[in-house]
């Protein structure tokens, strides 16, 4: 097992390097440059040249890339052009917030998705099944940024029970209850689509498992229905559900880009949006690298859990 994990981690390195080259090239190819973004209306060729000199962007592209990767390997991600602070500080500040949001959403979508999937599989074509299917369909179809605004309107503007945006109260606050309180709306919004996906998959997997011989045997042995479903069938169904949750982790990280913007959650997604529009290359590079690394890691984790659940995959 350890060997397998190590091999997977090593395989991630070329992926991350390749990714950083692609991101670097895309950022270089799109028109507009950081000097342009910094100077706005005042971007005369003279001023651009001066700012590029101040930023070290007057060097050739390969030169810039190698300087960057060389520094990254030594743990130096450079300074953000726009924020005037070290990229690593900004990313670390932001990454925690994204992990809290995406992690909560992932937990929510796993719990509710699996529960809903089981409920509708057990009563296939019954009213529970139909209701769950309908709700899930709506959840999957609704764009999450729209749902987010809707929830803000209801809970923050209309009823004033939950805050509209931010991670902590502006004045006072800053403790755990305050965080949870601010977390409810964005986490729920972010979890909705993924919950739908997990629910549908769990339903399909459960339906398949419930038809298998070992379930019939269990029932024939006279085990009560709850034991059959939760101990026997669910464990078998989880084998195909867990990797999907791993993939959902990727979607949740990606979805965080919108949700963080709508809810002003100070995470890495909102940071990337801003950094791309201001051509803050070093910040984009650093942010993408971290998100990609997180994605690789979560998928690895899902694979490991799956192999623990599925005796056929044990090596």
Partner 1 sequence: MHKLIKGIAAIVLTAGVAAGLMSYAVAQTPPNVLVVGQIAEPQSLDPQHVSAVNDFRILMNVYDGLVRYKDGTLEVEPALATDWSISEDGTEYTFNLREGVTFHDGSPFNAEAVVFNFERMIQEDHPYHTGTFPLSFYFSAVTSVEAVDDMTVKFTLNEPFAPFLSNLAYPAGLIVSKAAVEEHGEDFDRNPSGTGAFKFVEWQSNTRVVVDRFEDYWDGAAPLDAVVYRPITDANTRVAEMLSGGIDVMVEVPPDNVSTFADDPAFTLYEEAGPHLWFLILNAKEGPFADMRVRQAANYAVNKEALVENVLQGTATVAAGPTPPAFNWAYNEELDPYPYDPDRARELLAEAGAEGAELTFYVTEGGSGMLDPVAMGTAIQADLEAVGLDVTIETYEWNTFLGIVNPGLEGKADMAEMAWMTNSPDTLPYLALRTEAWPDQGGFNSGYYSNPEVDALLQQARTSTDQAERAELYKEMQAIVYEEAPWLFVANWKQNAVTTANVENFSLQPSFFLMLQDVAKPN
Q: How far is the CB of 161 from partner 1 (least distance, A)?
A: 5
Q: How far is the CB of 285 from partner 1 (least distance, A)?
A: 17
Q: Are 57 and 13 in contact (CB under 8 A)?
A: no
CA distance 137 to 146: 16
Q: How far is the CB of 3 from partner 1 (least distance, A)?
A: 40
Question: Which of 8/50 has CB closer to partner 1?
Answer: 50
Q: Taking contact as CB under 8 A, which single stretch among the options 64-72, 87-95, 131-139, 240-248 is the one that binds partner 1?
A: 87-95
Q: How far is the CB of 233 from partner 1 (least distance, A)?
A: 14
CA distance 302 to 246: 5
107 forms part of the interface with partner 1 (CB under 8 A): no
- Of residues 249-278, which lie at the interface with partner 1 (CB under 8 A)? 261-264, 266, 270-271, 274, 277-278
Burial profile 110-137: b = 16 or more Cβ within 10 angstroms, e = fewer: bebbbebbbbbbbeeeeeebeebbebbe
Report the helix count and the strand count for the chain, using DSSP H and E.
13, 0
224 forms part of the interface with partner 1 (CB under 8 A): no
Q: Are 267 and 165 in contact (CB under 8 A)?
A: no
95 forms part of the interface with partner 1 (CB under 8 A): no
Which DSSP state fits 79? B
Q: How far is the CB of 22 from partner 1 (least distance, A)?
A: 19
Question: Which of 23/270 has CB closer to partner 1?
Answer: 270
Q: Taking contact as CB under 8 A, which single stretch among the options 51-59, 208-216, 248-256, 294-302 is the one that binds partner 1?
A: 51-59
CA distance 119 to 206: 10
Distances (CA, A) of 244 to 105, 194, 202: 15, 10, 10
Closest among 58, 65, 57 to 22, alpha carbons compared: 65
124: tokens are 């296939």
The half-sphere exposure of 246 on its side-chain side, counting CA atoms within 13 A, is 18
Work out which of 171, 312, 314, 315 binds partner 1, going by CB under 8 A: 171
Q: How far is the CB of 94 from partner 1 (least distance, A)?
A: 7
Question: Which of 105/296 has CB closer to partner 1?
Answer: 105
227 forms part of the interface with partner 1 (CB under 8 A): no
Closest among 269, 265, 270, 247 to 193, alpha carbons compared: 247
Q: How far is the CB of 168 from partner 1 (least distance, A)?
A: 7
- The neighbour count for residue 290, using CB atoms within 10 Å, is 21
- Of residues 125-164, which lie at the interface with partner 1 (CB under 8 A)? 128, 149, 152-153, 156-157, 160-164
Question: Which of 68/81 has CB closer to partner 1?
Answer: 81
# residues contacting partner 1 (CB under 8 A): 71
């Amino acid at each position: 097992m350890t060997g397998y994990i190590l091999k997977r981690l090593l395989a991630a390195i070329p992926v991350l390097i390749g990714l950083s080259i692609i991101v670097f090239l895309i950022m270089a190819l799109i028109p507009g440059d950081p000097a342009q973004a910094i100077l706005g209306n005042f971007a005369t060729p003279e001023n651009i040249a001066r700012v590029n000199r101040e930023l070290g962007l007057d060097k050739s592209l390969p030169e810039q890339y190698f300087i960057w990767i060389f520094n990254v390997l030594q743990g130096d991600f450079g300074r953000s052009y726009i924020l005037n602070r070290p990229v690593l500080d900004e990313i670390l500040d932001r990454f925690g917030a994204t992990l809290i949001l995406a992690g909560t959403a992932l937990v929510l979508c796993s719990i509710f998705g699996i529960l809903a999937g089981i409920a509708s599989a057990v009563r296939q074509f019954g009213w529970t099944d139909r209701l769950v299917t309908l709700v899930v369909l709506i959840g999957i179809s609704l764009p999450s940024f729209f749902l987010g605004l809707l929830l803000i309107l209801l809970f923050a503007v209309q009823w004033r029970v939950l805050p509209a945006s931010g991670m902590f109260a502006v004045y006072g606050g800053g403790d755990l209850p305050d965080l949870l309180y601010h977390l409810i709306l964005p986490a729920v919004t972010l979890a909705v689509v993924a919950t739908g996906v997990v629910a549908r998959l769990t339903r399909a997997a459960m339906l398949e498992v419930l038809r298998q011989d070992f379930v019939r045997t269990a029932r024939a042995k006279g085990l009560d229905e709850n034991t059959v479903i939760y101990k026997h069938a669910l464990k078998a169904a989880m084998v195909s559900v867990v990797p999907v949750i791993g993939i959902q982790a990727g979607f949740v990280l990606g979805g965080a880009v919108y949700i963080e913007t709508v809810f002003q959650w100070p995470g890495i997604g909102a940071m990337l949006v801003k950094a791309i529009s201001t051509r803050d290359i070093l910040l984009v590079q650093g942010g993408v690298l971290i998100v990609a690394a997180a994605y690789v890691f979560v998928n690895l984790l899902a694979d490991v859990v799956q192999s623990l659940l599925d005796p056929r995959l044990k090596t």
